[in-house]
Structure 1
């Protein structure tokens, strides 16, 4: 275990801000995580509030626990690699692949596949989610970035928080929006009755800011192909926002309408199409486009054919 002992020399500085200034090798998010996990003491008492103000003379102890041994098993699962170097990996995730282990999915996940492909991942970004900086839902396909080093992990996380990483999606929705483009700015939080779902929740009730930009690409009768760009990255964000404005993603088993479109889909017709970010070391721009899966393109072909036959 690594321990830091500090004595405050200025008043009225938020605890997490003070620690991030004094310990520049640790990211702000990592410091906040350590606080929440009870690894910070002020004057000998554990403090789990990152917002508390420290005072002159306060003695602060921060402990960084040793990385827990990773109990996950490496599994030889094929990966569709779009980009790779010694710092990061960008994959085209298929439908049905869970990103990281969770109750009900202890193995067969993207993390299990990554451990076989990158043996040095354990310890980067957390025990159960090594290298995972952002996630895609089980049945959402497309581009996902994986950090292969601590430097890459901190850099990619910072880019996501600063909203400089660009994440673009393609989705087929029910209905025909009246306008060509728009922005959905509605906070998202855990559904108050169904803990497996997310919902539009006011910020004062625990919701977190969620912003989705969208633009209509193709009208397909009573369906529409839409280009989405995420400004924030909340769980199920596009799916919740689309449903809220009356145009749920086709095939969404949780937030959708339940209507059959006549195409056998593995899940929601939502694809992480393009990912743009800065390389963690060189700062060069990297832009990767993930080809949509056959089920997605087949859905478009069926809808386009229906339009042609009706004209």
Structure 2
């Protein structure tokens, strides 16, 4: 008895009911109300009871006051997230494992994961948190710095992937909606920016004066909200969203914040790709690192696997060509000394994956908050006591010539609030 509807009809199957029947209805409704109240109380009591899983000793785990950490092993290659967790939490039910994922308590390699069937490998590290983590980024969290009919510049928040990885291109819509990419949310953000509410926010005419006003619809802020709307309205919205489609012409790491450029047509996108290739787009990042690096240029050859599954510089003693090798050039300039740390500017000449992070870590100046490259290729762990809430890397400046007018455009973005607060605290506690 999950739902009981109590009604007092004036007619039944088109006929009137007499006083005796009405009295019977009153008694019956009263009894049903008591049953419903007791049933609801029982359900509330059961739902309020916290089910604590039996104590387990997970394999290969490290615990803290707020989370458990699990390092996967070769037996997990080809498995999925929920199975890897269940393997380590043998006393948990499958329902408890899936609920912990659904409630935003699970991270893979430092990133929130809401997909229970995400594939995992022996290189992955899973964190299981006691409390739920913040909700994923929504379209309304994305600020548009500049937009015209040819391009869009957005201020990317940390915690969202720029574009869908190639191996995820064929994911079902349901799985995409669990964690949308920035490229997938920008069209909705543009719709909010332009306040394009044609049809979507039109008040509905209500002919029944006694039924009260109907709720006005709004533009959905997430793909999940987009899915939940009526099919007719959804088709209308899909048609309008095509006007706001964008193409990413470069990427930022998931936990890197800052300025990011999108093209609005394929031809403009191709033009920007060529501009990046010929170093005509200026990209400057702000970073906080360990130590006190001097102004210098890093020019190395990066390969996809340096020997431990992570990207890194190809050792000079290895002469054999590597099909994944790419030249990477980063110019750095110190801006401020903050105790044992430094605020620096990094200007990219090339744009390889993790380029800045690799160059800094290999030079002995680990990026504060970088959980991946704190581990060297030989397995040595570099201690990071900076307390950074995430990797302290921010795309601060983006400059380029407009693809049509050739006008020089330059955009700047200051530190977002999470890193700004941390940096203020770091300065306050720095030795004088």
Pick the TM interval, shorter chain. 0.5 to 0.7
SS at match of 1:186: strand
Q: Distance in 2 between matches of 1:117 and 1:148?
A: 14
Q: Distance in 2 between matches of 1:290 and 1:188?
A: 29
SS at match of 1:277: strand
Contact 2:369–2:387 (8 Å) recurs in 1 = no
C-alpha distance 99-194 of structure 1, shift in aligned 2 (>3 A) = farther
Please say if 1:205 is aligned against 2:338: no
Give the match for residue 101 of structure 1.
Answer: 164
Query: What is the number of residues matched between the two proteins?
Result: 224
Give the superposition deviation at 1:209: 0.5
Q: Distance in 2 between matches of 1:258 and 1:271?
A: 22
Please say if 1:85 is aligned against 2:148: yes
1:114 aligned to 165, 179, 186, which one?
Answer: 186
Give the match for residue 296 of structure 2.
Answer: 182
1:56-115: per-residue Cα shift (whole Å, max 9, x none)?
Answer: xxxxxxxxxxxxxxxxxxx74532111111110001111101112234983421122024
Please say if 1:226 is aligned against 2:344: yes
* Pairwise CA RMSD: 2.2
Give the superposition deviation at 1:296: 1.7
SS at match of 1:234: coil
Give the match for residue 429 of structure 2.
Answer: 306
Give the superposition deviation at 1:120: 3.3
Give the match for residue 384 of structure 2.
Answer: 259
Higher helix share: 2
Please say if 1:153 is aligned against 2:297: no
- After TM superposition, the score normalised by the length of structure 1 is 0.67
Contact 1:279–1:286 (8 Å) recurs in 2 = yes
1:184-218: per-residue Cα shift (whole Å, max 9, x none)?
Answer: 001112014454x3111268324211000000000
C-alpha distance 170-76 of structure 1, shift in aligned 2 (>3 A) = closer
Give the superposition deviation at 1:304: 1.4
1:215-243: per-residue Cα shift (whole Å, max 9, x none)?
Answer: 00001111000000000000000000000
Give the superposition deviation at 1:253: 1.0
1:285 aligned to 397, 404, 408, which one?
Answer: 408
Give the superposition deviation at 1:151: 2.6
Higher strand share: 1
Unaligned runs of 5+ in 2: 1-137, 191-240, 375-381
1:264-300: per-residue Cα shift (whole Å, max 9, x none)?
Answer: x0x2000000000111111111100012111222222
C-alpha distance 205-297 of structure 1, shift in aligned 2 (>3 A) = same
Contact 2:399–2:409 (8 Å) recurs in 1 = yes
- Computing the radius of gyration from Cα coordinates, the structure with the larger value is 2
Contact 2:328–2:352 (8 Å) recurs in 1 = yes
Unaligned runs of 5+ in 1: 1-74, 125-129
Give the match for residue 418 of structure 2.
Answer: 295
Q: Distance in 1 between matches of 2:387 and 2:412?
A: 28
| Higher RCO (C-alpha 8 Å, min separation 6) | 1
- After TM superposition, the score normalised by the length of structure 2 is 0.49
1:14-39: per-residue Cα shift (whole Å, max 9, x none)?
Answer: xxxxxxxxxxxxxxxxxxxxxxxxxx
